[in-house]
């Protein structure tokens, strides 16, 4: 009888998960946020070559039973389509205005208008009720199959909620941090209390890994604020999630030069969306964060380079990450429609070549 060799194939999903756990994969994983890649023949070709799509969801849901909410659409004086949302609390109304803009929104008005809003915002936060939503998360993971990974998501870090987000503009954050820090820290602690109710839900849920917040800009907050107001929350969340066998990381896509040593002190398992085009290169990040997986975003401005340069950039990073344990190339931002097909093929070519020219 003729003998046949059985070759074990690693699915894209398993390749990513093994790499996040610090193992050396058969080749560098390549991932793209699912909503950043149109469904088309080129997408199918890339998935056939091992591309893994990242679907982001939550294994819990939240609601505020004692806060009213209404929303309406209107046209401003310049003819732009705008949306207005208003929360009604026992301490007054909080409103926000935004402009839909394709895949994103432009925030024109934040909830915080003056220090008179602190009590209402604090009530809005503390009124949050958190409930598991395991069925939806498990079905999503089952339905998508082995060329997807499904990632859970904790809220923004407590203080990060107040920086240029739904609640407060970056300008107001800076002013209030200097003039009303005690009130700001009360809001931060209220957000932390909500997060602590979410930790065990995610830890006991069906998904294997989770991001905690992200989009931190070190040049805005500085190392001291990161050390005192971010690092302890990462470690508290990591302790809870590790107890449930889950991996935890965060989305650090700015220049992290000034906090590299502090990130090393966290118990995070991976750093996602790391941009070696604006911060330290891959080799330096690997040296600074031993034991943490490095899940980069292929630098946005590199996508304007030639196909050969795209290949060379990916190959260089793969060589810097050798032997490849805990290293993933990802796409977490939008890439021009006339560039992504060729660029993603060039990155995949570099992966298939093992980083060699």
DSSP summary character for residue 277: T
State both tokens at 183: 């009130």
Q: What is the pTM of this model?
A: 0.94
Give the domain 12-60+132-352 fold: TIM Barrel (3.20.20)
Is residue 1 predicted with pLDDT exceeding 50? Answer: no
**What pLDDT band is residue 164 in, cutting at 50, 70 and 90?**
confident
C-alpha 205/C-alpha 187 separation (Å) is 27
Which pLDDT tens digit goes with each residue over 107-130? 999 999 999 999 999 999 999 999
C-alpha 197/C-alpha 62 separation (Å) is 11
pLDDT, position 165: 78
pLDDT, position 71: 97
Q: Please enumerate in sequence order all residues whose Cβ is within 8 A of that of 177, keeping only pairs 6 or more positions apart, or say none.
A: 184
C-alpha 41/C-alpha 337 separation (Å) is 14
Q: Please enumerate in sequence order all residues whose Cβ is within 8 A of that of 139, keeping only pairs 6 or more positions apart, or say none.
A: none
C-alpha 337/C-alpha 311 separation (Å) is 18
Is residue 3 predicted with pLDDT exceeding 70? Answer: no
Q: For residue 218, give the nearest of 279, 271, 168 by alpha carbon.
A: 279
In this structure, the dihedral spanned by the alpha carbons of residues 153, 130, 201 and 229, taken in order and rounded to 10 degrees, is 60
Instruction: Work out the widest C-alpha separation in the chain, in whole angstroms.
Output: 84
Which pLDDT tens digit goes with each residue over 259-281? 999 999 999 999 999 999 999 99
- Average pLDDT along the chain: 95
pLDDT, position 6: 39
C-alpha 45/C-alpha 41 separation (Å) is 6
Cα 64 to Cα 69, 124, 128, 134, 209: the distances in Å are 9, 7, 5, 20, 26
C-alpha 32/C-alpha 34 separation (Å) is 6
C-alpha 313/C-alpha 299 separation (Å) is 9
Domain boundaries, the chain: 12-60+132-352, 65-127
Cβ atoms of residues 201 and 132 within 8 Å: yes
Cβ atoms of residues 347 and 49 within 8 Å: no
Q: What is the mean pLDDT of residues 145-163?
A: 96
Which pLDDT tens digit goes with each residue over 30-45? 999 999 999 999 999 9
Which pLDDT tens digit goes with each residue over 60-109? 999 999 999 999 999 999 999 999 999 999 999 999 999 998 878 999 99
**What pLDDT band is residue 314 in, cutting at 50, 70 and 90?**
very high
**What pLDDT band is residue 9 in, cutting at 50, 70 and 90?**
confident
Specify the DSSP element, H or E, that contains 12.
helix 12-20
State both tokens at 63: 């609601």
Cα 263 to Cα 95, 220, 228, 290: the distances in Å are 35, 16, 12, 11
Is residue 4 predicted with pLDDT exceeding 90? Answer: no
Which pLDDT tens digit goes with each residue over 269-312? 999 999 999 999 999 999 999 999 999 999 999 999 999 999 99
Helix (H, G, I), strand (E, B) or coil at 62: strand
Q: Please enumerate in sequence order all residues whose Cβ is within 8 A of that of 104, keeping only pairs 6 or more positions apart, or say none.
A: none
Burial (0-12, 13-18, 19+ Cβ within 10 Å), 94 = buried
Cβ atoms of residues 330 and 297 within 8 Å: yes
C-alpha 297/C-alpha 332 separation (Å) is 6
Is residue 13 predicted with pLDDT exceeding 50? Answer: yes
Specify the DSSP element, H or E, that contains 73.
strand 68-75
13-16 long-range contacts (CB < 8 A, ≥24 apart) are: 13/52, 13/145, 13/146, 13/147, 13/148, 13/149, 14/146, 15/50, 15/52, 16/52, 16/149, 16/328
Is residue 8 predicted with pLDDT exceeding 70? Answer: no
Least confident stretch, 156-165, 179-188, 206-215, 275-284: 156-165
Q: Give the residues across from 132 on adjacent strands.
A: 60
C-alpha 202/C-alpha 317 separation (Å) is 33
């Amino acid at each position: 009888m003729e003998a046949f060799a059985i070759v074990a194939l690693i699915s894209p999903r398993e390749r990513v998960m093994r790499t996040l756990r610090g193992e050396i994969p058969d080749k560098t994983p390549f991932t793209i946020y699912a909503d950043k890649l149109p469904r088309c023949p080129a997408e199918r070709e890339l998935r056939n070559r091992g591309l893994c799509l990242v679907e982001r969801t939550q294994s819990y849901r939240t609601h505020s039973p004692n806060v009213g909410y209404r929303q309406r659409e209107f046209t401003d004086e310049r003819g732009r389509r705008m949306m207005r949302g208003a929360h009604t609390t026992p301490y007054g109304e909080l409103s926000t205005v935004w402009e839909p803009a394709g895949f994103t929104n432009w925030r024109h008005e934040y909830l915080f208008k003056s220090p008179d809003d602190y009590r209402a915002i604090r009530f809005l936060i503390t009124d949050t009720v958190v409930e598991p939503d395991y069925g939806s998360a498990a079905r999503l993971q089952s339905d998508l199959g082995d060329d997807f990974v499904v990632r859970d998501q904790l809220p923004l870090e407590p203080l990060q909620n107040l920086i240029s987000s739904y609640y407060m503009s970056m300008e107001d954050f800076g002013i209030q941090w200097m003039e009303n820090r005690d009130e700001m820290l009360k809001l931060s602690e209220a957000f932390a209390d909500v997060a602590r109710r979410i930790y065990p839900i995610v830890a006991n849920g069906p998904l294997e890994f989770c991001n905690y917040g992200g989009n931190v800009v070190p040049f805005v907050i500085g190392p001291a604020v990161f050390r005192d107001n971010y690092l302890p929350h990462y470690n508290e969340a990591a302790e809870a999630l590790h107890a449930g066998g889950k991996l935890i990381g965060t989305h650090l896509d700015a220049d992290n030069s000034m906090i590299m040593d502090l990130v090393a002190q966290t118990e995070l398992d991976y750093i996602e969306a790391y941009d070696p085009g604006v911060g330290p290169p891959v080799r330096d990040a690997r040296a600074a964060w031993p034991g943490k997986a490095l899940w980069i975003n292929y630098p946005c401005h590199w996508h304007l380079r030639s196909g050969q340069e795209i290949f060379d950039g990916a190959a260089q990073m793969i060589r810097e990450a050798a032997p490849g344990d805990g290293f993933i190339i990802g796409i977490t931002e939008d890439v021009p429609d006339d560039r992504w097909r060729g660029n993603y093929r060039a990155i995949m070519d570099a992966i298939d070549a093992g980083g060699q020219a």
